[in-house]
Chains A and B, each alone.
Chain A
Amino acid sequence: MSAMSEIPLPQAAKRVVPWWLLRHETMLAAILLVALIVLGALNNRFLTLDNLLNQGRLTTEVGLIALPMTFIIITGGIDLSVGSIVGLCAILLGYSWKNLGFPLPLAIGFSLLVGAAAGFFNGIVITRVKVPPLIMTIATLALYRGLAEGISQARSVRGYPEWFYFIGQENLFGGPAQLWLFLIAIVVSAIVLDRTIFGRTLYAIGNNETAARFSSLPVDRVKLIIYTLSGLMAGLSACVLVSRVTTTRSDMGIGYELDVIAAVVLGGTSIFGGVGTIWGTVIGLAMIQLLKNGLALTGVKGDATIVVIGAVLILSTLVASSLQRRRDGV
């Protein structure tokens, strides 16, 4: 982990931390702060610890997937199948417990394994057959959702044992249980991305994949790992989601890919690859969740907040790209 200082970084990797990137995140944090103050002033229920912790609870499911998605987008890839993996894992959790008679802990393990396998399948086709990630994961977006629908035949499963609801509904050390899980995942992801050879390899791939290969970096293995990780985290997210809402349905996780990518891109990760941080993603997630919540509390209808998020996504990308262009002197 401390190997960072000994490894001479390629020039390209050094330049991925230019001034404007820091500016993007500080800018975003500033906007977030202003939004917090304005929304807090408009509604006195908004800036309460209870409300904010509850928002943390709600953002965990999308957040857990956004972390590996940051890795993937940094390499210049994308994973559109995550929402479908959530659906498939949720269904398999319920199906294997109720219909196949698995004990619940085994069912949880099984659904996590299937999540990882689904991600591994994405990764293996992307790296071996060289199918572009966008199209591969559009295909598995349909395939995995189709499997969830086919296996469940649109029947839901409920009535899980009481202990299973702990992670989704209970509190631990005064905070929502899943928030702790999310915090650990954030810290681990940030350290991996920032302080390990593995993490720095992601930037190298995103900046110039050919150069990374010539530098004998294990490009394919690294890609395989991050797509597998993405599937595994989607499986974990499914378990947290089922535990929170107490039921499984085959339409779970629909549209998650949009929320996840919006958070990552909003957080300053470039869709072209090579640029991005975990902290940016976390701010992006916080921004989306607080906008949703704040607008809802101030009386804006739920669906109108989606409009705001779409507009914020396009505008923030516009600003980031015009700043970058000015830096590049174009």
Chain B
Amino acid sequence: MTAVTLTGAEADPRRWLKALASQEALLAIAVIGLAIAVGLYNPRFLAARNLSDVLLGNAYIAVAAVGMSMVIVSGNIDISVGALIGVLATISGTLAVNGAPIVVAWLAALVAGVVVMALQGVIIAYLRIPAIVVTLGMLSILKGGLISVTGGKWITDLPDSFHLADIELFGVLPFPVFLMILVTILAALWMRYSASGRAIYAVGGNAEAARLCGMSQPRTIVMVFALHGLFAGAAALLYATQLRVIQSTVPPNLELTIITASVVGGVSILGGVGTVVGSTLAAVLIAEIASALVFIDISPYWIRAVQGVLILVTVIADILRRRRMAGA
């Protein structure tokens, strides 16, 4: 799946077929196909305003899913990220309200994200505690800590300059969308072409082989988690700065949506396989579906069921496809 866009694709027609069947291509087709189908039913769905709202309001999920994809490719999982984003948004908002320079408020979220995630990475990689246990514990700590410190109070009166998400580049491109695209491209290039990026696949695919090739598994895992923390910080900033108030609680089910984006995007939960381009496309698709339900008059209460079916179908298709490839 990762080899489809290598040069020489024109020479071999089967390459084209494979490229079309890749997760990324399927997702791109799904994103466009759904837009057309819903647009035919209700043209208002295709209004520029609605499409940009869908992208703008959900870019933070795609940004967080980039980090989550790296974590899952490395053979781990993180269920604390939703709680962490809530904590980071609150930290940043609190600093901004209390008169800290805006840049400091922004940076604090990034730094705190890296620190918390790197700490988890160290516990997972060097003390060899399974990621599910560590992140489960951290979820508990962050969630309980946030509510008991803030009491779930809302942060209001945020300074105007705090609202990073309001910035429009060149007068048209909203900053969250720009960041989503930039982060995805940079991460995709890095994971594909750099030695340290390839190490993530190696460690997730076959830890023993990676070790014998001289890669340090613990160091790679700590690096992946630290990066994931950085993306979580960026996601928290987008999340915190697009609203006029910050509710100091953990956004419910955020980690689930982020994991869904990664998995639907083709990242294999078994480790070693997947791309961030896929996860970003999947995040867009999920947001698009949520919006589409409203436009085709289906109660939004069904959105979670649709999400579940979506993961189920992708995962089963992925497993069956891989089994066929292994059998061929």
What residues make up the interface of A, taking CB atoms closer than 8 Å to B? 78, 125, 129-132, 134-136, 138-147, 149-150, 152-154, 250, 254, 258, 261-262, 265, 271-272, 301-311, 313-314, 317-318, 321-322, 325
Contact = CB atoms under 8 A, between A and B. Distances in A.
Interface in B247-305: 252, 256, 259-260, 263, 269-270, 299, 301-305
Contacts of B207: none
A262 B315 contact: no
A141 B77 CA distance: 16
User: Which of A144, A147, A305 has most chain B Cβ within 10 Å?
Assistant: A147
Contact of B316 (A125, A140, A142, A306): A125
A265 B135 CA distance: 13
Contacts, number: 145
Contact of B134 (A129, A131, A258, A314): A314
B37 interface: no
A146 B303 contact: yes
Contacts of A141: 256, 308
B30 interface: no
18 contacts: A129-B316, A130-B319, A136-B312, A138-B259, A145-B305, A149-B301, A250-B301, A261-B132, A262-B136, A302-B148, A303-B145, A303-B147, A303-B148, A306-B140, A310-B136, A311-B141, A313-B140, A325-B128
A301 B145 CA distance: 11
Contact of A135 (B138, B139, B141, B269): B269
Contacts of A318: 123, 127, 129
Given A303-B147, A305-B144, A313 B136 contact: yes
Contacts of B138: 310, 314
Interface residues of B, number: 45
A277 B147 CA distance: 34
B181 to A, nearest CB: 27
A142 B128 CA distance: 29
Given A139-B312, A149-B305, A131 B319 contact: yes
B309 interface: yes
B285 to A, nearest CB: 15
A325 B126 CA distance: 13
A44 to B, nearest CB: 25
Contacts of A136: 312, 315
B308 A314 contact: no
A313 B304 CA distance: 29
Given A132-B270, A149-B304, A307-B145, A142 B137 contact: no
A265 B301 contact: no
A143 B263 CA distance: 15
A307 to B, nearest CB: 4
A143 B133 contact: no
B144 A132 contact: no
Contacts of B301: 149-150, 152-154, 250
Contacts of A135: 263, 269, 311, 315
A311 B136 CA distance: 10
A255 B320 CA distance: 31
The 3 A-B pairs with the shortest beta carbon distances in the complex, nearest first, are A143-B308, A146-B305, A310-B140
Interface in B211-241: none
B148 A304 contact: yes
A309 B140 contact: yes
Contact of B315 (A131, A265, A304, A321): A131
B303 to A, nearest CB: 7
B144 A306 contact: yes
Interface of B: 77, 123, 127-130, 132-134, 136-145, 147-148, 252, 256, 259-260, 263, 269-270, 299, 301-309, 311-312, 315-316, 319-320, 323
A25 B147 CA distance: 32
B87 to A, nearest CB: 12
A258 B139 contact: yes
B78 to A, nearest CB: 12
A271 B128 CA distance: 12
A305 B136 CA distance: 15
B137 A146 contact: no
A144 B130 CA distance: 26
Contact of A314 (B137, B143, B252): B137
A304 B129 contact: no
A139 B259 CA distance: 10
Nearest to A304: B148
Contacts of B144: 303-310
Nearest to B306: A146
A321 B132 CA distance: 15
Contact of A258 (B136, B142, B269, B316): B136
B311 A310 contact: no
B304 A311 contact: no
Contacts of A307: 140-141, 144-145, 148
Contact of B127 (A152, A250, A321): A321
Contacts of B303: 146
A149 B306 CA distance: 11
B53 to A, nearest CB: 23
A190 to B, nearest CB: 24
B269 A132 contact: yes
A125 B312 CA distance: 10
Given A143-B308, A325-B128, 17 more contacts: A131-B315, A131-B319, A142-B260, A143-B304, A143-B305, A143-B307, A145-B304, A146-B305, A154-B301, A262-B136, A262-B137, A304-B144, A310-B141, A311-B141, A314-B137, A317-B133, A318-B129
Contact of B130 (A138, A254, A272): A272
Contact of B307 (A142, A302, A305, A314): A142
Contacts of B133: 265, 271, 313-314, 317
B141 A138 contact: no
Nearest to B303: A146
A150 B315 contact: no
